[in-house]
Amino acid sequence: MTLTLDRITKTFDNGVAALQETSLTLAPGEFVSFVGPSGCGKSTLLRIVAGLTAPSTGRVDWGAGMEPPDLAFVFQEPALMPWATVADNLGLPLRLAGRPRHQVRSAIADALRLVGLEGFRQAYPRQLSGGMKMRVSIARALVTDPQVLLMDEPFGALDDITRTQLNEDLLTLWGEQGWTVLFVTHNLYEAVLLSGRVMVMSPRPGRITADIVIDSPQPRSPSFCNSPAYTAYCQQVATALGAAMAEGASRAVLSP
Amino acid sequence: MSPPSLATRLLTAIAPLALGLIALVTWEMAVRINHIPPYLLPGPWLVAQTLVKDWPVLLPALGVTLKITLVAFAAAVVSGLALAMLMAQSPWVEKSLYPYAIILQTLPIAAISPLIIIWLRNSTFLALVICAWIVALFPVISNTTLGLNSADANLQDLFRLYRASRWQTLRYLRLPSALPYFLAGLRISGGLALIGAVVAEFVAGSGGANSGLAYQILMASYNLEIPRMFAGLVLITCLGMGIFLVLSALSNALLRPWHESALPR
């Protein structure tokens, strides 16, 4: 399954141009990050891929045999139902799909084991820490066994220690599950650690200004952060990001 | 977050009771010292005695008012919930219906209840129920509509992503989101149903066709039986408090596991 974004643009009804023409092809199992300033349209791009927002022009091509439920979305907020237990939150996608009860139960148990929250089946979201809520949110994305995982700044609201922990967990899970991941972040260090490719985007209306391949074996261990290669890649992405920002700034001066 | 100690709990229970007792004693003293005649202001002790003495008359009256209130309240809850769910189906339906819900709310019930009672002169009970229902309906509609429309945006996206049907979105997302709002609406509506029932009874009372509490109060005031009038007022207040307490307990029981309003501090 190869995911192709074909000359996608987006201008909102209020006239705000969010995305300039963007094309991209993702191989199966690829982990691609989108880095850019806030408001650069990276979240919009993700929503277009998810089918939550319609593109103004262009199209998303899923290749053959791809069904929409093969895709899962992780939001910046955990987006859990406060009135439902962890187990019921996890079971939601399957219940909406009308799966039989026993199947839902075993999928919930599997997902809880994967994210290390076996003891919290019957807990309510308010009883969990921010990091645990995000784990539940990720586990909910896992239950449908998706091929493509879309993550919109999933760790943006978490503290550094929790973020590091979840980055490690995500690397492990990705190694086991082999999803195609589209990962939006404003943290370039996170992007370099996790991805095979980092897309650098310009300020609004966004476009991809650099496509940087992080050429290091995947899935990586956190010790990759201590390597000289990691530092070099971070610098490369930072430079590209600086250039993209400068382009945005000059455009802002030129246009009235 | 430890539960309050026994002493704190006792104090919380005793403080309002003590305040009420002080007020009653002051009232009784003022009446006795100033020799206020009972037809102007009876003391609380006399009111209590009257309550006991007139109990055989007041209890059936209480039953009548309670029945009108409960039937009107139930009707308001069912119809309000149904209308709110209907309006939640599309902005068009909401825009079309909502103005009429507001008009219903602004109708002065004292002015229109004579008409309703005349129209339905064969069934005063039904007329009174309709009056109380009109008063009690709006809070259920407005609160539930607000609740149904305030489901979390990310969760709405999630439901769309998983191709949830309209019914599934209502059942699993919008109704649970609306529950705290709905329950708050019930608490307002329960009190209003009682007020609506009493006001309508007052209007109908002059026809003498009914024997609810408001009718008893009206008759007592005509006959200058002021202690009895006060006894009736006490019963209506108790009824209102009872309705509020039951609905608060219901709200707490339903929201306890998850909603901020029901969590111990």
Last residue of a domain, one of A90, A116, A146: A146
* Least confidently predicted of A60-64, A159-163, A233-237: A60-64
Q: Which domain holds residue A37?
A: 3-66+148-254
| Between A216 and A140, residue with greater pLDDT | A140
The pLDDT value given to residue B131: 93
Domain-located, residue A158: yes
Residue A62 has pLDDT above 60, yes or no: yes
Residues A88 and A53 in one domain: no
The pLDDT value given to residue A73: 93
State if pTM tops 0.80: yes
Across chain A, mean pLDDT equals: 88
**Residue B166: its chain A contacts at CB < 8 A?**
none
B157/A75 CB distance under 8 A = yes
Assign domain B43-257 to a CATH class.
mainly alpha
Residues A153 and A243 in one domain: yes
A82/B159 CB distance under 8 A = no
Residues A134 and A154 in one domain: no
Domain-located, residue A127: yes
Last residue of a domain, one of A106, A123, A146: A146
Residues A138 and A159 in one domain: no
The pLDDT value given to residue A222: 82
pLDDT band at A134 (very low <50, low <70, confident <90, very high): very high
**Residue B156: its chain A contacts at CB < 8 A?**
none
Secondary-structure breakdown of chain A: helix, strand, coil percentages, each rounded to the nearest 5: 45, 20, 35
Phi, psi of A207, rounded to the nearest 5 degrees = -150, 160
Residues A137 and A241 in one domain: no
| Between A85 and A63, residue with greater pLDDT | A85
CATH, residue A196: 3.40.50.300
Last residue of a domain, one of A102, A124, A146: A146
- For residue A70, the chain B residue with the least C-alpha distance is B162
The pLDDT value given to residue A66: 59
Give the closest-approach CA distance of A144 to chain B in angstroms.
10
Domain-located, residue A111: yes
The pLDDT value given to residue B1: 46
The pLDDT value given to residue A256: 44
Strands (E), B119-241: none
Does the predicted interface ipTM exceed a cut of 0.90? no
* Residue carrying structure tokens 């009718």: B215
Domain-located, residue A222: yes
The number of folded domains in chain A is 2
B161/A71 CB distance under 8 A = yes
What is residue A223's DSSP assignment? G
B163/A52 CB distance under 8 A = no
Distance (Å) of CA B255 to CA A70, A82, B74, B173, B259:
35, 10, 21, 15, 5
Residue A84 has pLDDT above 90, yes or no: yes
Domain-located, residue A250: yes
CA distance A108 to A147: 18
Residues A227 and A217 in one domain: yes
Give the closest-approach CA distance of A223 to chain B in angstroms.
34
Tell me, yes or no, if B164 comes closer than 8 A to chain A by beta carbon.
yes
CA distance B82 to B141: 9
In sequence order, which residues have a C-beta less than 8 Å from that of residue B116 and are 6 or more positions away? B127, B130, B131, B200
Residues A152 and A139 in one domain: no
Residues A37 and A16 in one domain: yes
Residue A144 has pLDDT above 70, yes or no: yes
Closest residue to A73, CB basis, from B158, B176, B179: B158
Name the stretches of chain B with pLDDT < 50: 1
Give the closest-approach CA distance of A103 to chain B in angstroms.
17
The pLDDT value given to residue B209: 52
**Residue A77: its chain B contacts at CB < 8 A?**
154
Residues A116 and A96 in one domain: yes
